[in-house]
Structure 1
């Protein structure tokens, strides 16, 4: 347990600080504080009947509320508790006095707070121009999602605070606001080296603090750009999503390949008015084409050391459908670039949309279909070959399926001969082939009629169907009188 009066020292230091004008604001995403139910294992706030139990190792600094009414407290081996100037801790007897706590365990255990890194973009919120609106723009490069060299940094202290400053050799920002009050860089450097600072800011004893008040070209100058980019990408590359396009792009400052369009406008000088002017032109064009809800964009300077250029990034808010590419082609054809004093532009697009999971889905469909076919033929094989010696079904299952597949089947074959007029249906002979008919089934069908009138032949009553092999059924030929011809007399007459 570390006991300090650093909070009072902070208040004395803050009395002489002036507000420095900066461009935009980055806010550290704070952990839940002491008065948040999500900070406690039970999900409830402690009450007067509870004992507060800290984790054995608590590597954060947490600000206690003004008044705490509890039965007891178990402190951690390390960490820091910040008391407010008029704060107090009241230890009660633990008697309920008719009051019931939400948590009946009578022990309130505080959750362990993780230490998060300064270079991780997921730990920062971009408050656009101090308006209090959280900006969530996928077109913004990762290196610009952490505090830029001339931005105001807000670090709330209401929650458990533990920031990792390893690899941060130079902390270059516009201004640091600690718990709502602006502090000087000298105070921050002394705090880093103190015992309390080691709890709040890990590995920060050698970190130098620089306040950059002037305008600059880009989020970070070229002397720290590549070092910052490498450290930021260490925290992002492992969670990059696979782009759904054939030729993804990687803009400067981005750690992941994305789908969209990027344009580099080479300029001779770094004029801050160019970014504002170009942003307004893109916003106006999006409004004209009614694409404000579909696309996100970002315009910024990039100071890479060799050359300075304006970087324009346009991406879809949802799935990539080439809307960003079509928009930028139209924008490039309609805008006049003369006022930017630039004749060199580089255009990069992501090509056609592509679903990287399409092949996997097709393979799963093929494998599933093949498996279904194999199961179907396996069932047929087992039922029609019960004595296969490979797979034997239980007797009850085999009998049910066997009766289904081996049900009685009657096939009737008819000769295509029509019945004579007046013949009855009994004269039609039916050749019946019967397979595996059980005795019970045979008894049920005995005595039933197995003949019927064939409607295809009753309209032409000329012959009998299936005539019997006797003399009466043979056709009768009529006798005709023959004429004798004497050929010799005819020949003599001719001669």
Structure 2
């Protein structure tokens, strides 16, 4: 029995906190004002100037510029429409240069400074900070300044370029640093705040990312506008997202490996998911996040709804909290639009029927000999225009006010069946 429990614990550790190489890559967002010399985004009348060397890649999204001066080395990705040429209608925009700068100074727990191939859009910002068994790498060819963590963080190993460091070696390197391009700032306790190569004690649920998780710094995170109605914000995210999440307290019989396989059956190739421990102690609260792989179309919300309905009872205890975003903005209000269209269609049909079956009142316009309205439409008749009279044939019908009398069609038929004797009454 103990061996089975041990295997489950190992499987849990592998799934939840699989080792990864996490690289320091500060936020290079094109839409982040802090990445410009004057702290403002460039406008259409300005020339954007990049530095000679750009570390990592920069996604250029939906902007207007006069021109761009590209870097000698680096990667630029055109992610949306780029318009070159000044817009004379744009106000509060002056001619000149806008200087893009590589982000050089950031703190350990700042959102957007860490990169790993294992991260996906479903990974919370708090889970992108290096975990206890991650390999941490800092670039050797970039000028950076890193403020080290205050709470002790565990990492498997640490590299600057190709050179590895132990905890003590890294501290000595910081104390002796002078003109190195990589500068590290000790925390307020004059320590590195790092334990390199030291293992953590795991629970029966597995190992969390850190013993004392750091609160993520979202101050410099650029949040694009969500493409859905009622976006959600799961724990650990700096920005609202489109998709779904489930937060629950794990029961004693919870198996992370089987739960991950269960979720994978629903997501398949249409969505990405992330399962992790919520930033709480004791470690029992699990959060599942699911997002669409490509443009949001509501698939992830449907997947979360199905998973929430079909979750096995022995995986969780107490209530589950499911959060689901709304439909894509492109489809938002479609029902209202259809209703309004149908309303006007029915209204126009009723007006047409009214005009067709009933005469439009005559309207006489001074100076015009023709009558507008009454003579333009004729009423549909379902009966003959002949006059039906209820009077005797030898009766005289007054037509002083027009043909207002009518004949009874049953009169002749009754007369044919009944013999009526006529008597002469003598005076």
- When Rg is computed on C-alpha atoms for both structures, the one with the higher figure is 1
TM-score (norm 2): 0.49
Higher share in helix: 1
TM-score (norm 1): 0.43
RCO higher in 1 or 2 (8 Å CA, sep ≥ 6)? 2
